[in-house]
Amino acid sequence: MQIKKIAELLNAQVLCGEELLEGVVNSAFGCDMMSDVLAFVKDQSVLLTGLCNPQVVRTAVMMDMKCIVFVRGKRPSEDVVRLADDSGIVVMATEERMYAACGVLYTNGLPGGSVANG
């Protein structure tokens, strides 16, 4: 799914990375625990989270994520946005709650990815 479609579907404000909106992500992952992101994300994905600290961006960089969507009306600090921008990651913010935002993306064709046991 194109990142600009995610912004449209979630009625999200793009905070940085406008020049990257034509990019494509393969799946979505909604989580506030970065250890779970590290354990379960397997491909280029969009991260939906309410956690607004630099560790979110650092985790996204490690996992080759292309986009972070802050949910529940959360707004990251300018330092967090700048770190994401410097890392080539699109950052958006939406008023949607995480459950609803994930549901909107899923019902519009963006899978959640597979979970491998063991």
CB 23 within 8 A of CB 2: yes
Sign for the CA dihedral angle at 111, 56, 64, 39 comes to negative
pLDDT of residue 118: 39
Query: Is residue 117's pLDDT more than 50?
Result: no
Angle among Cα 2, 101, 71 to the nearest 5 degrees reads: 100
In a domain, 115, yes or no: no
Residue 24 lies in a domain: yes
Find the CATH number of the domain harbouring 23.
3.40.1390.20
Q: Which of 52, 27, 15 is CA-nearest to residue 108? A: 27
**55-111 pLDDT, tens digit each:** 999 999 999 999 999 999 999 999 999 999 999 999 999 999 999 999 999 999 998
Q: What is the tally of structural domains in the chain?
A: 1
The reply to whether 75 falls in a domain is: yes
Q: What is the pLDDT of residue 38?
A: 83
Domain that holds residue 17: 3-107
CA dist 31 and 79 (Å) reads: 21
pLDDT at 53 over 50: yes
In a domain, 43, yes or no: yes
114 domain residue, yes or no: no
Residue 54 maps to a domain: yes
